Amino acid sequence: MTVLRLQSIAKRFGAVEALGGVDLRVASGSRTAVVGPSGSGKTTLLRIIAGFEVPDAGRVTLGETLLADGPNAVPAHRRGIGIVTQDGSLFPHLTIAENIGFGLDRGSEGRAAKIEGLIDMVGLERAMLQRKPDELSGGQQQRVALARALARQPKLMLLDEPFSALDTGLRAQTRKAVGDLLAAAGITTILVTHDQAEALSFADQVAVMRDGLLQQVGTPRELYLRPRDPMTARFLGDAIILPAMIAAGHADCALGRLAVDDADRAGSVEIMLRREQVSIAPRPEHAAGLALADILDVEFGGPFSTVTVRLRDRDGGVAATPAEPIVLRGTGPDLLSAGDVVAVAVTGPAHVFAA
């Protein structure tokens, strides 16, 4: 069941078109990640959902309630929506207990027990309730901010880059803890992030924004393996994009003859391989039938090395018009060097971009 619906949301700031007509449906209890480069419009979209901005045109509906119809909008404090921002926005002069209970009526029955229950829910010790925010780590502060947002029992939770200020290990740990908590509580969640890996691992649905529009919406697997265009493909991860001629479910390209994921298309197209589909054989004399490539550069990284290669022509010689270099990942005990010739193998079908 759809809990949040956005219809033709448009917003301008002077001469700048921030949103050009956005449509999105979010299912009840699901987690949606809105991802895109800086300036793509994702934060403006979140602020319109929260009620901090009003759209110039379009409708925002939460359940059966119309929150915005163009500039006619329900105020933010009446929307029943929780929000956690990048810095948590905790009140530095209040204790953790006072921060969590900020939105609860001071005279309400069982208020202290609710605060204790909320700090238990986010996995923090009750001893922290009497501390101030600056006595907690960044990850702990984010959990407190989440507990404060949960105190009002929101219908929808908005997460605005909430993990970006944390270091790598703590970021992954906090993201998983928050995701598990929201899923267990059955709270519909929208995460705005510029981190592709974060979006793919956190969400049930990913929406890719560019230039104020949603370019593609779908499951993480669908968007990663079947992006609509090369820009979306590159934004969501390492992508090798090659021109090809396809027919009968196969493509002829610089890597040889490959299976493709669209048996009905024919003609000149662009195809995509994810970097993990492509491997290097360091002894090309034992890899008959594979494409050959010259190594241009090797960046050693322990168990994985980043290897930049240029593909040779289909007969194995250096092409008269050199192909664009591609970046691959080398593994194993063999140490490769610039100038080596390697064979390049492909696993799985290549993706054919939409016409």
CATH code of the domain covering residue 157 = 3.40.50.300
H runs (alpha helix) in the chain? 42-50, 96-100, 111-121, 138-150, 168-185, 196-202, 220-225, 230-235
What is the residue-level pLDDT of the chain in tens, covering all 355 positions? 668 999 999 999 999 999 999 999 999 999 999 999 888 999 999 999 999 999 999 999 999 999 999 999 999 989 989 888 877 678 889 899 989 888 787 877 888 888 888 888 888 889 999 999 989 888 888 888 888 888 888 889 999 887 776 777 777 877 888 888 888 888 899 999 888 888 999 999 999 999 999 999 999 999 999 999 999 999 999 899 999 999 999 999 988 899 999 988 999 999 999 999 998 877 666 667 788 888 898 887 777 778 888 888 765 555 444 467 888 876 655 667 888 888 888 999 999 998 7
> What are the helix and strand counts (H, E) for the chain?
8, 21
Spatial distance between the Cα atoms of 79 and 62, rounded to a whole number of angstroms: 9
Spatial distance between the Cα atoms of 187 and 182, rounded to a whole number of angstroms: 5
| Same domain membership, residue 158 and residue 30 | yes
| Same domain membership, residue 103 and residue 70 | yes
| Same domain membership, residue 253 and residue 217 | no
| Same domain membership, residue 144 and residue 207 | yes
Segments forming the whole domain that contains residue 286: 238-352
State which of 167, 198, 232 marks the end of a domain.
232
C-beta separation of 193 from 186 below 8 A: no
Q: 3-class DSSP state for residue 52?
A: coil
Tokens of 122: 């986010």
DSSP string, 252-312: EETTEEEEBS-SS--EEEEEEEEGGGEEEES-GGG-TTSEEEEEEEEE--TTEEEEEEEE-
Comparing CA positions, the residue from 11, 99, 102 lying closest to residue 52 is 11
Distances (CA, A) of 181 to 30, 172, 350: 13, 14, 37
C-beta neighbour count of 66 within 10 angstroms: 14
Q: Count the domains in the chain.
A: 2
| Same domain membership, residue 182 and residue 263 | no
User: CA triplet 270, 274, 275: central angle to 5 degrees?
Assistant: 120
Tokens of 208: 């890719």
pTM of the model: 0.85
